[in-house]
Amino acid sequence: MAADKIQDPSRSVGVVTPQVARFAAPLALRCGASLRDYELVYETYGTLNADRSNAVLVCHALNASHHVAGHYADDPANTGWWDNMIGPGKPLDTRRFFVIGVNNIGGCHGSTGPLSINPDTGRVWGGEFPVVTVEDWVDAQARLADHLGIQQFAAVMGGSLGAMQALAWSARYPQRLRHSIVIACAPNLSAQNIAFNEVARQAIITDPDFNDGNYRALNTAPKRGLRVARMVGHITYLSDDEMANKFGRQLKNGKPGYTFDTEFQIESYLRHQGNKFADYFDANTYLRITKALDYFDPALEHGGDLAKALQSVVAGMLVVSFTTDWRFSPERSREIVHALIKNRAPVTYAEIDAPHGHDAFLLDDARYHRLVAAYFERVHGEIAR
Amino acid sequence: MAADKIQDPSRSVGVVTPQVARFAAPLALRCGASLRDYELVYETYGTLNADRSNAVLVCHALNASHHVAGHYADDPANTGWWDNMIGPGKPLDTRRFFVIGVNNIGGCHGSTGPLSINPDTGRVWGGEFPVVTVEDWVDAQARLADHLGIQQFAAVMGGSLGAMQALAWSARYPQRLRHSIVIACAPNLSAQNIAFNEVARQAIITDPDFNDGNYRALNTAPKRGLRVARMVGHITYLSDDEMANKFGRQLKNGKPGYTFDTEFQIESYLRHQGNKFADYFDANTYLRITKALDYFDPALEHGGDLAKALQSVVAGMLVVSFTTDWRFSPERSREIVHALIKNRAPVTYAEIDAPHGHDAFLLDDARYHRLVAAYFERVHGEIAR
């Protein structure tokens, strides 16, 4: 992705600064627990217009954060995770829209989560932090909208787990968004998806440094487990073809060494990804985010009927999938589309022929970006009326 | 697979007894090391005919062994791993054929491997046992054939990694087999296949109980790592559809508990598979078997030209793949078939429409078994002439 990082300063939102919103009212969670109070870290790009109609909420997926676009003054290399999508002249054009990125509760990038202090004990939450769900995140985000004085978003948008939030928004707060942009999504996880998550969790939980999640207090971290978890996750983000193209069977030293050292380039790549991730990400957050994925299933409370679960939806829906995504295949996106069509809800669906697998939603694919740009052109037309 | 285990005694080879063959001559391995001497544990079913032309060698895959069919007198529940394929009246009919199952070197079921004593040190090999390859296994098996007085096999047969051995046999000892039966195979591992193996290896190697593979001497075992390794492997053996059919999103307690206990049935299944495996399998063997898979690539020494690598093949080839196998997809089997066709080698190819994924090669699928039965009918016709 190095090429995507080369920036045209005129198309960047430039230097950004995270902000913190504090919420004093308790947040009731699906698991039955409630957070007495909480903080959300967020960033904004662009300017909120006078009638507050041009706000777009961008929801993050597994390992990302509120840092969606731009860079920090003291860390210019730390570019936002969706910087290719958001900025002046980009598909989500910050000359027109006021864009908000927010770190979800349970996260490890500043919002209240396992690394925060539990106000009831005065100690780091660690393994005691409750299980959070997509719906909990959406509820917390709705309060952030209140805090920012935004009654209705022009759009809520996300890819993968972020798309699940966009989908949940459309059903849970139908009046509070004009459009929902649901990219590389699924209406719930398949058994195989859950299985991969469970492998990741078991790798973390059985790491002797995990200590029931209370590793911080002991000054340790289950890095070995987190590393394996990231490696297995990473395999599911790339298509088989993309891995073949990028790495194939290339040997690191040109010929087999018959040792347990890194032999193939793909091993080297995965180990690198695993190490990098284990150094910056919190294991308790990773566990909770995989559980949020597992639990997401809007149809469950409606006898498995997704159309019923989405009956409240009035937003314009854009659903996008990628042909080589085997984690959340186009077939899964079509389940969402069919449910919306059954409800006669306004839905646009695009299946993008892209080689990159699930990760395609993060990449600068011309057809994909043109599609999103065109959709936002339409959204802009509506709010400018 | 419980249903497959219900046996008709008249179609079972009955009580079997493993045997041991000792080889005093050193075995040179691909990695450059050589085994000073070695033992192979094997089983045989049926009777070798007078002209020694009816022997069939069955090669095992990742976690299996020489115990291919029948059961042990003192352990009647311990049925051979391919018992549905081999026995009187079964596709590989032991009334006609003399069948041999052998545990490969580097294994943990009795043949010389990491659990054996290194004659040079008098201590358990452990992590010092060399890296072994498919070709090394085939060379060791060829010596077993010598030992049993078998100049030419009626067939060499295997599924998955076992099929790689059958394929290597056909190219390496072309005169020593009439037929090669290559089921659910690939001519080499894809980057994605290697990636999954690498995750498994890293889970084992980073387990604090691994101790560079010398855990036996310390009376420990990297069971946590082996458990995760097996869980990730298991996901690749089943098709997405099969997992969906078997487990779907079934909750263990009917409704979400929002805890890190087992929540979905698929989690329970995977944990069970992982625990079972970690209790009986040796981690050093697992590491070596995954490396043997990674290294297998007959085309490598021929500039990537598989047809050239298979130029020596004279055996009749039966290649079988399964539609839902995403580990070694039909496309990969077709690479083998195309190379053989290019060489004008005699090849029969069947793509079986089966829902079970890679594991299909182990299951009692009627069309699959009829095909193998028909092929052995033909082999029998040849040797009976």
In order of A53, A94, B68, B80, the CA distances from B12 in angstroms are: 75, 73, 11, 10
Q: Which of B29, B189, B196, B232 to mutate to test the interface with A (most CBs of A within 10 A)?
A: B232
Across chain B, mean pLDDT equals 96
A299: pLDDT strictly greater than 50: yes
DSSP state of B311: T
B224: pLDDT strictly greater than 50: yes
Amino acid (1-letter code) at residue B290? T
A1: pLDDT strictly greater than 60: no
Is residue B296 within 8 A of residue B305, CB to CB? The reply is no
**pLDDT band, very low/low/confident/very high, at B270 (cuts 50, 70, 90):** very high
Which pLDDT belongs to residue A6? 52
Write down the catalytic residue from B160, B180, B321, B333.
B160
pTM summary value: 0.96
From A201, A227, A244, residue closest to B190, measured CB to CB: A244
From B133, B208, B260, residue closest to A205, measured CB to CB: B260
Contacts of A35 (CB under 8 A, 6+ apart): A26, A27, A29, A105, A112, A130
Q: State the Cα torsion B221-B225-B230-B232 to the nearest 10°.
A: 180
Q: Where are the beta strands (DSSP E) in A227-371?
A: 316-322, 347-352
What CA–CA distance (Å, rounded) separates A50 from B174? 81
In this structure, of A267-276, B2-11, B310-319, the range with the lowest mean pLDDT score is: B2-11
What CA–CA distance (Å, rounded) separates A277 from A280? 6
Question: What mean pLDDT do residues A13-38 have?
Answer: 97
* Percent of chain B at pLDDT exceeding 90: 95
B1: pLDDT strictly greater than 50: no
Please choose, from the candidates B223, B200, B199, B192, the residue with its C-alpha nearest in 3D space to the C-alpha of residue B210.
B223
* Percent of chain A at pLDDT exceeding 70: 98
What CA–CA distance (Å, rounded) separates A245 from B360? 28
Active site residue A209: no
What CA–CA distance (Å, rounded) separates A195 from A293? 12
- A199, B228: Cβ pair inside 8 Å? yes
**pLDDT band, very low/low/confident/very high, at B63 (cuts 50, 70, 90):** confident
Contacts of B63 (CB under 8 A, 6+ apart): B277, B281, B286, B289
CA-nearest residue to B256 within chain A is: A295
Please choose, from the candidates B314, B352, B359, B379, the residue with its C-alpha nearest in 3D space to the C-alpha of residue B81.
B359
Q: pLDDT digits over A87-137, tens only?
A: 999 999 999 999 999 999 999 999 999 999 999 999 999 999 999 999 999
From A191, A248, A270, residue closest to B243, measured CB to CB: A191
On chain B, the residues whose CB falls within 8 A of the CB of A31 are 258
DSSP state of A218: G
Q: Which of A29, A193, A260, A272 to mutate to test the interface with B (most CBs of B within 10 A)?
A: A260
Across chain A, mean pLDDT equals 96
Please choose, from the candidates B101, B102, B97, B93, the residue with its C-alpha nearest in 3D space to the C-alpha of residue B52.
B97
What CA–CA distance (Å, rounded) separates B244 from A146? 40
From B189, B248, B295, residue closest to A191, measured CB to CB: B248
From A30, A191, A240, residue closest to B190, measured CB to CB: A240
What CA–CA distance (Å, rounded) separates A102 from A21? 10
Active site residue B325: yes
On chain B, the residues whose CB falls within 8 A of the CB of A226 are none
Write down the catalytic residue from A116, A358, A359, A365.
A358
Q: How many CB atoms lie within 10 A of CB B74?
A: 7
Residues found in chain A: 385
Q: pLDDT digits over B275-293, tens only?
A: 999 999 999 999 999 999 9
Which pLDDT belongs to residue A254? 87
Please choose, from the candidates A325, A329, A289, A360, the residue with its C-alpha nearest in 3D space to the C-alpha of residue A64.
A289
Amino acid (1-letter code) at residue B271? R
B81: pLDDT strictly greater than 50: yes
Write down the catalytic residue from A325, A333, A356, A365.
A325
- B258, A30: Cβ pair inside 8 Å? yes
Q: Nearest C-alpha of chain B: how many angstroms from A344?
A: 27
**pLDDT band, very low/low/confident/very high, at A340 (cuts 50, 70, 90):** very high
Is residue B54 within 8 A of residue B98, CB to CB? The reply is yes
- B131, A232: Cβ pair inside 8 Å? no
Residues found in chain B: 385
Phi first, then psi, for residue B289 (nearest 5°) are -70, -40
Q: pLDDT digits over B311-361, tens only?
A: 999 999 999 999 999 999 999 999 999 999 999 999 999 999 999 999 999
Helix (H, G, I), strand (E, B) or coil at A358: helix
CA-nearest residue to B292 within chain A is: A258
Q: Which of A136, A202, A204, A210 to mutate to test the interface with B (most CBs of B within 10 A)?
A: A202
Is residue B17 within 8 A of residue B78, CB to CB? The reply is no
Q: Cα B251 from chain centroid?
A: 33
What CA–CA distance (Å, rounded) separates B38 from B112? 6
On chain B, the residues whose CB falls within 8 A of the CB of A256 are 30, 295
HSE-CB of B382 using CA atoms within 13 angstroms: 18
Element (H or E) spanning A355, and its range?
Answer: none
B3: pLDDT strictly greater than 80: no
Q: pLDDT digits over A275-297, tens only?
A: 999 999 999 999 999 999 999 99
Is residue A309 within 8 A of residue A298, CB to CB? The reply is yes
Write down the catalytic residue from B12, B93, B358, B359.
B358
Q: State the Cα torsion A358-B229-A229-B362 to the nearest 10°.
A: 20
CA-nearest residue to A206 within chain B is: B224
What CA–CA distance (Å, rounded) separates A361 from A323? 11
A8: pLDDT strictly greater than 90: no
Q: Where are the beta strands (DSSP E) in chain B?
A: 19-23, 27-28, 34-35, 38-45, 55-59, 86-87, 92-93, 98-102, 117-118, 123-124, 153-159, 177-183, 316-322, 347-352
CA-nearest residue to A191 within chain B is: B248
HSE-CB of A207 using CA atoms within 13 angstroms: 29
Q: pLDDT digits over B119-171, tens only?
A: 999 999 999 999 999 999 999 999 999 999 999 999 999 999 999 999 999 99
Helix (H, G, I), strand (E, B) or coil at A159: strand
From B198, B199, B235, residue closest to A195, measured CB to CB: B235
- A31, B202: Cβ pair inside 8 Å? no
Give the bridge partners for A40, in sequence order. Answer: A21
A186: pLDDT strictly greater than 50: yes
Amino acid (1-letter code) at residue B371? L
- A191, B244: Cβ pair inside 8 Å? yes
- A231, B195: Cβ pair inside 8 Å? yes
CA-nearest residue to A33 within chain B is: B258
A85: pLDDT strictly greater than 50: yes
